[in-house]
Chain A
Amino acid sequence: MNTQTIEARSSFGVWRRRESYLFRLELWLEESLSSSERRSILREIRDNVTVDAAARGIDAALDSLGSPRTLARSFAETGRGSRPSWNRAIYWFTGLLMLWWTLAFTYTAGMLSALLDSGAESAESSFLGLPVSAFNRESGIGIGWEASSVVALIPLMVMIAAAILAGRLWRVRIGRR
């Protein structure tokens, strides 16, 4: 491994750690600061961390900043108060949706495995209300679910309803202050 390769990996490592920190900081800042305020703070912190990391290393630079949560709280004292964390809601929403489909896929793949073991041609079932099927024919094997079914949209509808409900509750809570 030559020097240039080591430097490139080191630079990538510094970039990755810095951006990871800034990502977490932004999540916490979102609760109290507007988008433009966050952008301004993150741009400034990024520049300062870059200079600091060049002077004494990325570990020392990030240690000196403290945890993203604590730093965000310090900045929040200058902010406009509690705000809904829409970005975080989107990350949770996407994560839950991915989890739902992963579980549905795993369940259906399990059905296909059982079909292959038993030699049966096809099977139908439902996963948390979603109609799913698997087949094992001479033409090929496969799994599927009824995308046309309204039931397939249940996880999406539940998550949207949860986000709207949470948003309304937040507004009611803030309105009472």
Chain B
Amino acid sequence: MTQPSRTPAVPQDAQSLRGVLPMLILCQLQSAESYGYELVVRLQNIGLTDLATGTVYPVLSRLEQDGSLTSRLVASTAGPARKYYSLSEAGEAALDLATARWRSLTAIVETGLGVTTTEDLAGEDQK
């Protein structure tokens, strides 16, 4: 389980993470179906090293109830049947919308961060 080198070593903000977690879950499940714990490990592998399982499982439940995810029970030799989640058509649309919103927001934030530096503000004052 290694964190990608491009990920900055800054503690993750729980509130921000909660906002983007459904989108990331939908995205991960778009590429391959998963069961709960496996999905947590996949998310940790993309850099969310502090991600708690207790944060992910309720989101899975909510997304399934919303119709964004479908699930199926797969027989397991080690115990009871395991619940695998995959993206539904509604989930595909929800992911597209969430991705578009995220890109729009990050563009605004990037712009905002770019124009509100101290130097820029000082320059505006001198004019």
Contact across chains for B83 and A64 when beta carbons are under 8 A apart: no
Interface string of B49-79 (1 = CB under 8 A from A): 0001111011001100100000000001011
Q: Are the C-beta atoms of A41 and B61 separated by less than 8 Å?
A: yes
Chain A, interface SS category: helix
User: Considering the chains assembled together, what is the distance between the CA atoms of A64 and B36 in angstroms?
Assistant: 13
| Closest-CB distance, A147 to chain B (whole angstroms) | 45
**Distance of A53 Cα from B53 Cα, bound (Å):** 12
Chain A residues touching B, range = 20 to 34
Measured CB to CB, the closest approach of chain A to B84, in angstroms, equals 11
Q: Judge if A102 is at the interface, Cβ distance under 8 Å.
A: no
Q: Which residues 29-55 of B have a CB within 8 angstroms of A?
A: 35-38, 52-55
Q: Is the CB of A48 within 8 A of B35?
A: yes
* Structural contact, A61 and B53, CB atoms closer than 8 A: yes
The answer for the CA separation of A66 and B38 in the assembled complex, in Å, is 18
Tell me if B80 is interfacial: C-beta within 8 Å of chain A.
yes
- Chain A: residues with CB nearer than 8 A to chain B? 41, 43-48, 50-52, 55, 61, 64-66, 70-71, 74-75, 77-78
- Additional pairs, 16, CB under 8 Å, beyond known A44-B36, A75-B61: A41-B57, A43-B80, A47-B36, A47-B37, A47-B82, A47-B83, A48-B35, A48-B57, A51-B38, A52-B53, A64-B53, A65-B57, A71-B58, A77-B58, A78-B58, A78-B61
